[in-house]
Structure 1
Amino acid sequence: MPTIAYHDFADYLNRATAAEWPAVTLVCGEEMLCKKAFDGVLDRLLPEAQRTMALERFDGGEDNLAGVLSSLNTYALLTSSKVVVLQDARLFYSAKAQQALREKMTQAARSGEMKKASRPFLNLLALCGLTFDDLKTATARRKVVDDEAGEAPPWLVQLIDYCRENSLRIPDKKDDADLLKTAMQKGFPDGHRLVITTDFVDRRKALFKAIDETGLVVDCAVPKGETRADRMAQDQVMQTAIAEALHPAEKRMAGDARQRLIQWTGFDLRTLSGNLEKLINFVGDRQTITDADVTAVLQRTRKDPIFEFTSAIADKDLSASLFYLHSLLEEGMHPLQLLAAAANQIRRLLLARDFVERDQGRTWNDKMSFPQFKGAAFKAVQADDAAFASLIDGWAATLNPPAEGKKRKSTATSDLVLAKNPKSPFPVFQTLKKASRFSLPALKAAMVDLSVTDRRMKSTGQNPRTLLEAFLLRFCR
């Protein structure tokens, strides 16, 4: 059976009956969407009255798969139907999941939500084969979290203490995927169903392919990136969540109120749900929620991506640059991280402006449209990148020639090229557009200014926040 996307799942629920439901269902992706999809599955498979006798839940981080399979093969009292649930399963994790687990853990821990951060933290430790004590060494710690100024972030100690105080253990590092796959091939008693929930899946795993082929996969994943397509997908999910919350309460929301709610919340469905509940209660009998209601009841809780900060710098938008600087610092981001992000952005602008100067209007001009850019101009950028990479390789070969009879590997120069991804020309187009607002001397001076700011941050007692603010004032003026 093909994978069903979350936005198509309601239609599937309306058509499918419990009798024809597959033996194994996997619900994966965004936490709040998974919960809604899981509730829909359970409502279809098992009436409320039967759940005391015919529903058994297992925790993927605490319980072993042998117990899950034993329950599946044990008949329920007084009913032929039975549903066994394996929540927060780790069966589909791989090394690919590590970065996503780090992000989920860090975001929750920085917000003080240690309970929410504990599960991805423990799963990450299991994947890396580490213990709490291993995190005392910087080498092991780097597999789990980024140090701040050479030290572990303050919240890491709090997170470890929370896990120890609540007797939360690191799951065993073992892969039960083959065990479940074999059990699926043998089959389960008629009327017995297994429902699995998880946040991350590696679709290359044989177990995932087996469930996708013979069972049902409900895909609740939402892209977390900052591309236009990712943001549109996130916005669609949030708009749907708002509509689902307002409809049963018979409320409407003004367009500007809806826009501010999304802007203040960011892509956080749990917070969005709580904010909507507050607004519905606040307006009482009134049908329409206004922008004034949002500003009166809510506070801005959105966790700003560093992309917003660097984009404001490239736009020379002083107000936005300062806003995101303060927001990111308050979220716990280290000043040196923000300084490095600013340096990377200005370095890219410098590369772009240098290309514009040397191109002299032959292929590029700042009035051209994106479709025009994708032709000769983008090919010129790629050729320029290739020439520069060849130059760097030549320098490296001269300074460090390869051993006789061996070829030298090409030097990685990804931070010194404009078209990092040849299949994605739009970011390059945007960078060239923004670089046209600056002169080459101004960008060179900004890199020198950043170097001075970096030295002052590390060698003087000056406030890092003040130093960053001063740099932005000079650069964006």
Structure 2
Amino acid sequence: MVQNKNKVKHDNLDVFLKSVQEKDIPNLVLIYGESYLVTQAFKTLSSFVLGKDFQKFAIETLEGRSVSMGDIIEQVSTFSFLVSKKMVIVKNIPLFYPPQNNSDIRFSSSDIDHLMAFIENGLPENHYLILTSTLIDKRKKIYKAIADKGLIIDCSVAQGVRKVDMDEQRAVLQTMANKILSSSKKTMDNQAFHALMELTQFNLYLFSQNLEKLMAFTGKSLKISITDVKAVVKRDKKDPIFNLTNAFMAKDVKSALFYLNSLFNEGFHPLQILKSFENQIRKLILVKCFTQNVRQNHTMSFGKMNFNAFKMQVLPEIILYDEHLKGMIEEHDTYFSKGDPKKKTKKLNDLFLAPNPQNAYPVFQIFKNSDNFSLKELNQALFFLSDLDFRLKSSTFDEKTALENFIIKTCSKGGFVYAPENQNRRHHF
């Protein structure tokens, strides 16, 4: 069921369009989220508004990173000689995030005001402006203006490794598979679906391409089996190492072991993996120390906190903490350099909780994950990795098994106990 008249989720778009008439669709639409779902949502919407016969002539496509605001408004305002309706889609418009490189268009505050005035005055009749973006910021005035005057289609999908996030991703893939398979009246059993999902992970374009291959491979057969999946689909997706650390910090043992095995198969050196774990644990320890020392009188569950609340309530304290730490480092640096700039130490950004406060979401994720561990568990894990680092550099053993053991012990519910049992033989294997 649609929550309100100007916002609809991607999986409810078909139901929404069946409940309205073409004339009820606002001529201003924002579609944001997963690029594959955004593309599909636009196809569905444009087909509904324009009909299938005139889409080729009625749609004007602009690239948001290389078109000026003046050109966007001019295109929407210009009438077509061929058809009565016109739809201008601006892909990846940078209204809510900075341009990705120096060649991208940068919208000024004047540009945004110009667009808001254009929206407020109303678009020409039978002219539609469709804006797409991967990210949004609901606090910005332009978002509120679009929400007030137009339609917003939410194509976002949770990207985490928590069970609830994985369940949402699985549901999106299942819906997507059902829609693609229905076109050829084919079906896929659960074993085949889960095998395909494991091979592609949450990559919607890759998932759809492999499903198309399977449909062609099975020919007249109406059922796709796990044998077909194994025969056609190869695991060609390389997992970045942060997938492993994300699963580890969420204490998702199954996913962490899966990504560890994948990284070993791709030729990652054990020390690369170990150092990634070390970096994350050190960061979590910094967070724990911050919450104990700075927020000792303000107990708070970060796991239940949303991003906006974190930015308003916690981020200002983090910035003050980092500024104080920066001052101490500079004072130390000045004292020991004796005024000689050549003796100044390097910037120690690893000690700061938020080296880039403008990009606060990764900081928010680390604080959320810190609730999964106690400070004692993190200290024990750091001792383990220190010993393992020594062993990797001085002896031969099964590195993969040792790292698997580390993941299982650290993520176990009983807590990780290592240092007391090994204090007499640490670094002496």
TM-score of the aligned structures, taking structure 2 as reference length? 0.65
Equivalent position of 1:447 in the other structure: 385
Equivalent position of 1:369 in the other structure: none
Equivalent position of 2:100 in the other structure: 124
1:190 aligns with 2:125: yes
- 2:43 aligned to 39, 45, 58, which one? 39
Equivalent position of 2:61 in the other structure: 57
Equivalent position of 1:338 in the other structure: 273
2:94 partner amino acid: R
- 1:472 aligned to 399, 403, 428, which one? 403
CA shift for structure 1 position 227: 1.6
CA contact (8 A) 1:54 1:77 kept: no
Q: State the secondary structure of the residue aligned to 1:244.
A: helix
CA 1:186 to 1:200, structure 2 compared with 1: closer, same or farther past 3 Å?
Answer: same
Correspondence list, 1:76-91, <5 A? 76-91=80-95
Equivalent position of 1:178 in the other structure: 113
Q: Deviations over 1:232-288 (max 9, x none)?
A: 111110111111111111111121111111111110000000110111111111121
CA shift for structure 1 position 294: 0.9
1:446 partner amino acid: F
2:100 partner amino acid: L
1:17 partner amino acid: Q
2:244 partner amino acid: I
Equivalent position of 1:291 in the other structure: 226
1:25 aligns with 2:35: no
Q: State the secondary structure of the residue aligned to 2:210.
A: helix
Equivalent position of 1:358 in the other structure: none
CA contact (8 A) 2:245 2:280 kept: no
Equivalent position of 1:306 in the other structure: 244
CA shift for structure 1 position 342: 3.0
Q: State the secondary structure of the residue aligned to 2:100.
A: helix
Equivalent position of 2:134 in the other structure: 199
Number of aligned residue pairs: 333
Q: Deviations over 1:46-72 (max 9, x none)?
A: 134334543322111222121121122
Q: State the secondary structure of the residue aligned to 1:19.
A: helix
Q: CA RMSD in A?
A: 4.3
CA contact (8 A) 1:28 1:197 kept: yes
Equivalent position of 1:8 in the other structure: 12
CA 1:296 to 1:187, structure 2 compared with 1: closer, same or farther past 3 Å?
Answer: same
How far apart are the structure 1 equivalents of 2:60 and 2:234? 40
Equivalent position of 2:307 in the other structure: none
Correspondence list, 1:245-256, <5 A? 245-256=180-191
CA contact (8 A) 1:266 1:303 kept: no
CA contact (8 A) 1:346 1:446 kept: no
CA shift for structure 1 position 76: 1.7
How far apart are the structure 1 equivalents of 2:148 and 2:405? 59
Unaligned runs of 5+ in 1: 95-122, 126-130, 132-168, 352-373, 375-392, 404-410, 415-419
How far apart are the structure 2 equivalents of 1:450 and 1:182? 62
CA 1:55 to 1:336, structure 2 compared with 1: closer, same or farther past 3 Å?
Answer: same
Q: State the secondary structure of the residue aligned to 2:104.
A: coil
Equivalent position of 1:386 in the other structure: none
CA contact (8 A) 1:449 1:471 kept: no
CA contact (8 A) 1:181 1:207 kept: yes
CA contact (8 A) 1:28 1:218 kept: yes
Correspondence list, 1:83-122, <5 A? 83-93=87-97
CA 1:326 to 1:215, structure 2 compared with 1: closer, same or farther past 3 Å?
Answer: same
Equivalent position of 1:152 in the other structure: none
Equivalent position of 2:213 in the other structure: 278
CA contact (8 A) 2:274 2:389 kept: no
CA contact (8 A) 2:249 2:369 kept: no
Q: State the secondary structure of the residue aligned to 1:213.
A: helix
CA 1:32 to 1:75, structure 2 compared with 1: closer, same or farther past 3 Å?
Answer: same
* RCO comparison, higher one (Cα < 8 Å, 6+): 1
CA shift for structure 1 position 348: 10
1:262 aligns with 2:238: no
Q: State the secondary structure of the residue aligned to 1:4.
A: strand
2:54 partner amino acid: Q
- 1:241 aligned to 176, 190, 193, which one? 176
Equivalent position of 1:381 in the other structure: none
CA 1:60 to 1:350, structure 2 compared with 1: closer, same or farther past 3 Å?
Answer: closer
CA contact (8 A) 1:347 1:447 kept: no
Identity rate of aligned residues, in percent? 28
How far apart are the structure 1 equivalents of 2:120 and 2:285? 59
CA shift for structure 1 position 314: 8.8
Equivalent position of 1:159 in the other structure: none
Q: State the secondary structure of the residue aligned to 1:57.
A: strand
Larger displacement relative to structure 2 (51-60 or 342-351): 342-351
How far apart are the structure 2 equivalents of 1:473 and 1:71? 57
How far apart are the structure 1 equivalents of 2:75 and 2:173? 37
Larger displacement relative to structure 2 (84-93 or 444-453): 444-453
CA 1:314 to 1:58, structure 2 compared with 1: closer, same or farther past 3 Å?
Answer: closer
CA contact (8 A) 1:6 1:219 kept: yes
CA 1:320 to 1:296, structure 2 compared with 1: closer, same or farther past 3 Å?
Answer: farther
2:6 partner amino acid: P
TM-score of the aligned structures, taking structure 1 as reference length? 0.59
CA shift for structure 1 position 86: 1.2
1:213 aligns with 2:213: no
Unaligned runs of 5+ in 2: 287-302, 304-320, 332-350, 355-363, 410-429
CA contact (8 A) 2:157 2:168 kept: yes
* Regions of 4+ moved over 4 Å: 311-315, 329-337, 344-351, 411-414, 420-427, 442-445, 473-477
Correspondence list, 1:410-429, <5 A? 428=372
